[in-house]
Amino acid sequence: MQNSVAALLLVISGCASAQPADADLARIEHIVVIYAENRSFDNLYGLFPGANGIANATPESTTQLDRDGTPLAVLPPVWKAGKPDPAFPINLPNRPFRIDAPPISLPLSTPTRDLVHLFHVNQEQIAGGRNNMFAALSDAGGLAMGHYDGSPLPMWRWAREFVLADNFFQAAFGGSFLNHFWLVCACTPRHPGAPAAARTALDANGKLRRRENVASALSGPLRFLEGTYSADGYAINSAQPPYQPSDVRPAPGGDARYADPARNPLPPQTAKTIGDTLSARGVSWAWYAGGWNAALADGMKPSGRHQIIYTAADNSPNYQPHHNPLNYFARFAPGTAERERHLRDYADLINVIDAGTLPQVAFYKPPGALNEHPGYTDVLSGDRHIAEVIGKIRASRYWSKVAVIVAYDENGGFWDHVAPPGGPGWGDRWGPGTRIPAIIVSPYARRGYIDSTPYDTTSIIKFITRPFALELLPGVRPRMGDLTGAFDFGSR
């Protein structure tokens, strides 16, 4: 499906420097992974000096096609509730455009609407690596082609000082739920008993069925018949956890710690995770989630409206249940010691940094209010938050022995011009999908460096595996890099 020439060029660009030895990597005693939301590389870093950005895009990818395969005369309107959004001009030229510049001038501090980012839709938008169906297949129309000048962002400055990876791809097609699983297990969860109504049926051409036939993208957005599960029962779009916090409430009169099984949450999963391999080697670790404690208490309420989950009102942290992948695994079920030890709140992360008890590997998931997801938050507030967390680590006793990896889970429906690599060793049925930003910060990281090695989300698992000599999870893609191209131990 993907462009093999592009993949070959990525390999060549990624082989410029020798790999660090494991003895050097052992100098990194702590790894912190921060996972933000729903931005393509071009959406935030497409104007980054020296990076493979929008200026390198070819007309094949910038010129968006209509649903019949012909070039669009102009971009579709930005749809809002099925009508053109008055915040955006109609008849924008058929090419990428600045959201934060005239005539639109929506700053990084202003949220936009959400965009469709489903498993099969993402594949159709990528269009065999041409990336020319993003606008036509988006429920947000032309917004899919929007991007920002990210230079005012605090994380842009961290990227200028340290390493920006400009060939890093989301591991799985589609949305946040699946890409969080690929971060921790390089796997796609399965529900063999998934109801038929929740499974996705493709048409005779292997494409998603549409709810209605809107022939031209200029006439209106599409609505897709994409279910939570594939036809063979894999969870490809957002399914809810079997344990609280979940958007599925407890059963009436049942155990308040569990989601109501009658409402079909994803069954507990048993695949091996990076947490399992860390524990097997005696390496300390934890997953820290913003809003975890509050959402846990809220999720166990027997009835009534969620106040923490899926809510941005009243200064809620807006905890997102499908962003905590370990809460789907039987090993971390309610009442287990593993759950108490490894599933923690953001406040706990701050406490362990201050107390000098930071685990050797820490994952941090910001709450919805600070994760940069379109629709319910803006870019700037989350970017500032992540930069502040890194600043706190830099000021701590851990700075001399830490590596911080900041990555986005997926593109959120935004266009990017680079074709994902494909073929044996590069990809499989599940991905990789669209290119996303990744930033590596460490005293051992290269300075002011753009790393063009081909990476995807499973590269984070590869990197964690090396300094701690872990078993490599089977789903990790063998030809993707392990992030060591971002490091230079020779001068440190």
Q: What is the pLDDT of residues 325-380, one digit of tens each?
A: 999 999 999 999 999 999 999 999 999 999 999 999 999 999 999 999 999 999 99
Q: Which residue has the tokens 């990194």?
A: 28
Q: How confident is the model at residue 421 (pLDDT cuts 50, 70, 90)?
A: very high
Q: Which domain holds residue 174?
A: 4-486
Answer yes or no: is 431 within a domain. Answer: yes
The pLDDT of 274-293, averaged and rounded, is 97
Lowest model confidence (mean pLDDT) among 170-179, 271-280, 296-305, 308-317? 308-317
The pLDDT of 452-467, averaged and rounded, is 97
* Token pair belonging to 233: 């029962």
Question: Strands 163-165, 146-147: parallel, antiparallel or unpaired by DSSP?
Answer: unpaired
* Token pair belonging to 483: 């992030």
pLDDT at position 314, please?
62
pLDDT at position 210, please?
86
In percent, the amount of the chain with pLDDT more than 90 equals 85
pLDDT at position 23, please?
85
Answer yes or no: is 311 within a domain. Answer: yes
pLDDT at position 19, please?
66
Cα–Cα distance, 488 to 444 (Å, whole number): 6
Q: Is the dihedral of CA 34, 40, 42, 43 positive or negative?
A: negative
Cα–Cα distance, 477 to 492 (Å, whole number): 30
Domain count of the fold of the chain:
1
Answer yes or no: is 450 within a domain. Answer: yes
Q: How confident is the model at residue 492 (pLDDT cuts 50, 70, 90)?
A: low
Cα–Cα distance, 406 to 159 (Å, whole number): 10
Answer yes or no: is 491 within a domain. Answer: no
The pLDDT of 387-399, averaged and rounded, is 98
Rounded to 5 degrees, φ, ψ at 438 are -150, 140
pLDDT at position 301, please?
84
pLDDT at position 119, please?
97
Rounded to 5 degrees, φ, ψ at 268 are -55, 135
The pLDDT of 226-249, averaged and rounded, is 95
CA distances from 428 to 171, 343, 403, 409, 436 (A): 10, 30, 29, 18, 18
Answer yes or no: is 492 within a domain. Answer: no
Q: How confident is the model at residue 14 (pLDDT cuts 50, 70, 90)?
A: very low
Amino acid, single-letter form, for residue 231: A
**Average pLDDT value over all residues in the chain:** 93
The pLDDT of 374-401, averaged and rounded, is 97
The model's pLDDT over 169-212, given as tens digits with 9 standing for 90+, comes to: 999 999 999 999 999 999 999 999 999 999 998 888 888 888 88
Answer yes or no: is 309 within a domain. Answer: yes
pLDDT at position 22, please?
78
Whether the predicted pLDDT of 95 surpasses 90: yes
Answer yes or no: is 439 within a domain. Answer: yes
Q: Residue 250: which CATH number?
A: 3.40.720.10
Whether the predicted pLDDT of 482 surpasses 50: yes
